[in-house]
């Protein structure tokens, strides 16, 4: 009963609710005001329906005994419990289609809420999380009763965090992820307006949501009017919000990211080694995967995701990461068709993985702080890390060791054609990059139990368990 | 019909702005008003209600109210 609760340090912006963790369960304390909204929400028709469809995180009110917990008692009027998200991720790690699907989910929720006179307080992309490829909205207290005559206050935020990033990538082929990682509030209307050309004004959504929004923001930023009450007096209705939502839905549905293939996204077709080797590699991974049940697994440099899939058959959850945006986009779309809930594809460059961001570096957590893997796949990756990103080999193996994970790793020798491509126009200053030294470094932190050279002679697979 | 509504709404809203004061910045105000522009004909109706007096003053009808400004140059 008296187990300690741990407050979610990043959950502070909304003064009416706060997230806590205890014994692996997610709790949320609600103020009186938030409780009123919760009571309204839980009695709507859309709430249970969307929860059943997996679009809203499963939530229920906790027993009053929870309130006796000293950390919560006296502060909150009620406590909710939430389903746990297997692995938290952020919009700057999502591919184009993932952000697009998250945006469409947000609009769908707004539609459903408006039909029953509720609305969402804000429109943050950080309120959407994933269970595999299924997007789920997690910020339940964001639902509030719609006061008739009030506009959609989340519109601008929706544009900054959902629409503008999508437009940037769809219309300009500029990846939005670095921008979102650098600016947690998203892209400002004025900046979005600055990167569109006159010709872009003819493209869907630009004249209204970008150009006019930037203009209006500038024009009205210093207005003395109380816009909200003025709108109410002038007869603003929720109908106007619904019309806008339909436009946005239609617009976002048309947005696509067309791009020429990247060098590595055809990996599956041009893997650079014989089919026999490919079979051996799959067998190796499968044997390790089957050796015991796994909890969280990371596949670093997952590319097409073939090996993620193999491991996923014997793991609770697989986070598949790659720096190649197009590879993740294709993997996500393939998994989505299968309605996969076990594999989460994310964009992450291991040489520059997501850091701690936000207030005191607590709001958005670094990759390693969101969950440690029990098994890590590091296939055809080390040559990129050492030879392209210039990270010393020992530092990389040390980092892998720090995860406390078991490891499947593939060493790719300098004689390999793929490596020859990487070193083609570079001076070979990588004396540390050779098998003997690699095996030494590996053995320091891992108990290597399997070693398999592939027939090509340029690739060797290893499996090691973490040394504590 | 739709682009025309947007054009008219935007024109009205951007040109009937009161002289900027040095009030605290409110970046949300513009976005809320933009929703009227995106609201089609229904939105245009609300705009006209909001700025009815100002509109009248512009075309020279109605009592000379204190809050009608001398210039309608939009900010920017």
Task: Give the per-residue SS3 of A248-274.
Answer: HHHHHHHCCCCCCCCCCCCCCCCCCCC
pTM here is 0.91
CA distance B11 to chain A (A): 10
Q: How far apart are CA A344 and CA A336, in angstroms?
A: 10
**A231 and A182: one domain?**
yes
What is the arithmetic mean of pLDDT over B58-72? 53
Whether A56 and A49 have beta carbons less than 8 Å apart is answered as: no
Q: According to the model, what pLDDT value does residue B13 have? A: 80
**A164 and A201: one domain?**
yes
**A63 and A176: one domain?**
no
Residue of A236, A247, A239, A219 lying closest to B13 (CA atoms): A219
**A242 and A332: one domain?**
no
For A111-147, the pLDDT digits (tens) are 999 999 999 999 999 999 999 999 999 999 999 999 9
What's the number of domains chain A is made of? Answer: 3
Q: Provide the domain limits for residue B45.
A: 33-58
**Residue in chain A lying closest to B74 (CA):** A219
**A38 and A138: one domain?**
no
CA distance B22 to chain A (A): 6
Position B37 in a domain: yes
Task: Count CB neighbours of A6 within 10 A.
Answer: 10
Residues of A with Cβ-Cβ distance to B17 under 8 angstroms:
219-220, 223
Position A174 in a domain: yes
Residues of B with Cβ-Cβ distance to A189 under 8 angstroms:
31
Position B54 in a domain: yes
**A72 and A151: one domain?**
no
Q: According to the model, what pLDDT value does residue B68 have? A: 46
Q: According to the model, what pLDDT value does residue B60 have? A: 73
Residues of A with Cβ-Cβ distance to B42 under 8 angstroms:
237, 239-240, 243
Position B44 in a domain: yes
**A27 and A124: one domain?**
no
Position A267 in a domain: no
Residues of A with Cβ-Cβ distance to B39 under 8 angstroms:
239-240, 243-244
**A282 and A429: one domain?**
yes
Position A442 in a domain: yes
Is the interface score ipTM higher than 0.90? no
Rounded to the nearest 10 degrees, the angle between the axes of helix B28-37 and helix B2-15 is 140
Question: Between β-strands A375-378 and A406-412, what pairing exists: parallel, antiparallel or unpaired?
Answer: parallel
**A280 and A415: one domain?**
yes
CA distance A127 to chain B (A): 20
Position A349 in a domain: yes
Test mutation, B14, B31, B36, B66, chain A, max A CBs within 10 A:
B31
What's the number of domains chain B is made of? Answer: 1
Position A100 in a domain: no
**Residue in chain A lying closest to B50 (CA):** A234
Residue of A240, A243, A218, A224 lying closest to A151 (CA atoms): A240
CA distance B62 to chain A (A): 19
**A287 and A419: one domain?**
yes
Helix (H) and strand (E) counts in chain A: 17, 16
Residue among A215, A223, A234 minimizing CB distance to B29: A223
For B6-57, the pLDDT digits (tens) are 888 887 787 766 545 444 556 688 899 899 988 888 888 888 888 877 777 7
Position B16 in a domain: no
Position A94 in a domain: no
Position A93 in a domain: no
Position A91 in a domain: no
What is the arithmetic mean of pLDDT over A39-47? 97
Q: According to the model, what pLDDT value does residue A71 have? A: 61
**A357 and A428: one domain?**
yes
Which helix (H) or strand (E) element contains residue A311?
A: helix A306-312
**A79 and A188: one domain?**
no
Residue of A413, A465, A419 lying closest to A443 (CA atoms): A465
Test mutation, B35, B40, B47, chain A, max A CBs within 10 A:
B35
Q: Provide the domain limits for residue A57.
A: 6-84
């Amino acid at each position: 009963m008296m187990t300690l609760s741990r407050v979610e340090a990043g959950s502070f912006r909304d003064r009416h609710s706060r997230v806590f963790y205890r014994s692996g369960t997610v709790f949320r304390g609600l103020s009186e005001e938030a409780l009123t909204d919760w009571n309204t929400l839980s009695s709507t028709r859309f709430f249970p329906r969307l929860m059943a469809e997996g679009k809203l995180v499963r939530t229920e009110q906790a027993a009053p005994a929870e309130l006796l917990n000293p950390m919560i008692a006296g502060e909150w009027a009620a406590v909710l419990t939430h389903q746990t998200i297997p692995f938290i991720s952020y919009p700057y790690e999502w591919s184009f289609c993932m952000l697009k699907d998250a945006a469409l989910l947000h609009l769908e929720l707004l539609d459903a809420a408006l039909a029953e006179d509720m609305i969402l307080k804000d429109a943050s992309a950080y309120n959407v999380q994933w269970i595999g490829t299924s997007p789920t909205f997690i910020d339940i207290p964001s639902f509030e009763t719609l006061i008739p005559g009030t506009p959609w206050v989340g519109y601008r935020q929706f544009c900054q965090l959902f629409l503008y990033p999508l437009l940037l990538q769809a219309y300009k082929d500029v990846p939005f992820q670095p921008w979102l990682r650098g600016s947690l509030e998203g892209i400002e209307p004025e900046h979005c307006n600055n990167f569109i050309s006159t010709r872009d004004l003819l493209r869907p959504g630009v004249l209204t949501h970008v150009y006019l929004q930037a203009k209006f923001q500038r024009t009205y930023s210093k207005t003395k009017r109380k816009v909200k009450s003025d709108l109410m007096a002038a007869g603003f209705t929720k109908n106007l919000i619904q019309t806008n939502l339909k436009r946005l839905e239609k617009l976002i549905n048309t947005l696509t990211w067309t791009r020429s293939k990247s060098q590595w996204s055809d990996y599956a077709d041009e893997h650079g080694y014989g089919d026999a080797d490919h079979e051996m590699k799959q067998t190796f991974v499968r044997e390790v995967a089957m050796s015991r049940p796994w909890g969280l697994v990371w596949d670093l440099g997952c590319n097409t995701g073939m090996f993620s899939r193999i491991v996923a058959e014997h793991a609770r959850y697989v986070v598949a990461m790659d720096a190649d945006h197009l590879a993740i986009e294709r993997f996500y779309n393939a998994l989505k068709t299968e309605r996969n809930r076990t594999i989460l594809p994310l964009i992450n460059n291991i040489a520059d993985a997501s850091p701690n961001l936000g207030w005191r570096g607590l709001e958005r957590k670094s990759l390693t702080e969101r969950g440690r893997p029990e098994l890590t796949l590091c296939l055809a990756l080390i040559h990129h890390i050492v030879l392209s990103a210039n990270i010393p080999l020992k530092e990389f193996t040390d980092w892998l060791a720090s995860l406390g994970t078991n490891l499947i790793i593939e060493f790719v020798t300098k004689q390999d054609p793929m490596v020859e491509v990487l070193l083609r126009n570079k001076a070979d200053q990588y004396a540390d990059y050779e098998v003997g030294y690699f095996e030494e470094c590996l053995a320091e932190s891992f108990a290597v139990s399997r070693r398999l050279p592939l027939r090509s002679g340029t690739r060797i697979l290893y499996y090691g368990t973490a040394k504590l | 019909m739709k682009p025309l509504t947007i054009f008219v709404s935007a024109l009205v809203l951007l040109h009937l702005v009161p002289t900027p004061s040095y009030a605290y910045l409110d970046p949300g105000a513009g976005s809320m008003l933009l929703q009227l522009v995106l609201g089609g004909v229904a939105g245009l109706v609300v705009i006209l209600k909001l700025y009815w007096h100002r509109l009248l003053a512009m075309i020279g009808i109605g009592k000379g109210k204190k809050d009608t400004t001398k210039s309608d140059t939009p900010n920017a």
